[in-house]
Amino acid sequence: MLDIKITAALTKKEKPADNILGFGRYFTDHMFVMDYDLGEGWHDPRIIPYGPIALDPSAMVFHYAQELFEGLKAYRCEDGHIQLFRPDKNIERMNNTCRRMCVPEVPADDALQAIKALVDYEKDWVPHSEGTSLYIRPFIIATEPQLGVHPSKKYQFIIILSPVGSYYAGGLDPVKICIERKYVRCVKGGTGEAKVGGNYAASLLGQKEAEARGYAQVLWLDGIERKYIDEVGAMNVFFVIDKTVITPSLADGNILPGVTRRSCIELLKKWGYNVEERKISIDEVIEAHKNGKLTESFGTGTAAVISPVGEYNDNGNVMIINDGKIGPVSQKLYDNLTALQWGKIEDDMGWIVKVN
Ligand code: COI
């Protein structure tokens, strides 16, 4: 059990209106910080005013990118209470990433206590309007001032909060995605399944080039054969082919084990859908589209929730999916997942954790 010291901000910010939130642009009045020193472990858990952090310019995070992050959300229910969706799964993934990045793990109970304490302290920041939530961004950075390449002896675990609306400007409108044939996001044995900033830094150029052509994001193919579908970067990806829901398997360690991805698979199986987690090649998708068997595609993620894909562009060859409209599987998942998250239906999956 952490003994969290609280220092209240002297002035409070004005809260933005729900209709201008967007994603990740506004931050609450406080943040959680905890330090780690080799030999001492994690210590000094505290909630302090949100603001810049002072780090030595030689702090290892700036040079060797030893850092990792998570993303989850807090939801305001109609009766006013605030709840989290499967925070245990984010904490488990965070600690898996810690092991991959040689970062000391944060005890799961302490991480959950820290998240709940900060969200509860900032509960007035959880927005009220439909489709809005408080995005929770825990992250760990290597802070040892040292230029030798080795795991840092000092870290900070920080949690910040951001009231958010939709990740994509168009909300639930289907997004357009380019199939990435030039760059790769990761290779087998790399950090593809870890939630580290480096994966996202490596994705920026592909995304920038796709955006210049009017596309929201890119679909990453495996880094070795350039053939199998990995993920979209900000979301995992699903295809409905011949009534079977197919998503790339986690077996190669290339893709992020998304909490929303896993929840969709569990819900679909519960509803009796045929779900396959397996290697799926881009050629299979193109063929299925040609034969009229590809009826839907959608992305899943904490930020993106369920995001239908209306179009894939493969070097100029355009595949329109379901007439560019949201399909029945995506709609059913969206409706049920969001109803669970906002407490509108009973949680028969045991996924909800109340904050207050
Ligand atoms: C999330 O969905 O929480 C993510 O971390 C994806 C993205 C915003 C980078």
Q: What is the pLDDT of residue 102?
A: 98
As a whole number of angstroms, the distance between CA 77 and CA 83 comes to 8
Distance of CA 21 to the CA centre of its chain: 18
Ligand 1 nearest-atom number relative to CA 72: 3
Tell me if 71 CB under 6 Å of ligand 1.
Answer: yes
CA of 145 to the centre of ligand 1 (A): 29
**CB of residue 234 inside a 6 A radius of ligand 1:** yes
Please tell me the residue having the least CA distance from ligand 1 atom 7.
234
Element (H, E) at 310: strand 305-314
> What does the pLDDT look like over 68-99, one tens digit per residue?
999 999 999 999 999 999 999 999 999 999 99
Tell me the C-alpha distance between 347 and 29, whole Å: 31
What distance in angstroms lies between residue 148's CA and the mean position of ligand 1's atoms? 31
10 CA distance to ligand 1 middle (Å): 31
Average pLDDT by consecutive 10-residue portion of the chain (356 residues)? 97 96 97 98 98 98 98 96 98 98 98 98 96 97 98 98 90 92 94 97 96 95 96 95 98 96 98 98 97 97 95 96 96 96 96 96
Q: What is the pLDDT of residues 33-49, one digit of tens each?
A: 999 999 999 999 999 99
The protein residue whose alpha carbon is closest to atom 9 in ligand 1 is 234
What is the CA(233)–ligand 1 centre distance, in A? 8
Pocket lining: 90 vs ligand 1, CB cutoff 6 Å: no
Instruction: State the distance between the two ends of the chain, measured CA to CA, in whole angstroms.
Output: 18
Centroid of ligand 1 to alpha carbon of 234 (angstroms): 5
pTM equals 0.97
Residue count of the chain, please give it: 356
Indicate if ligand 1 lies below 6 Å from the C-beta of 303: yes
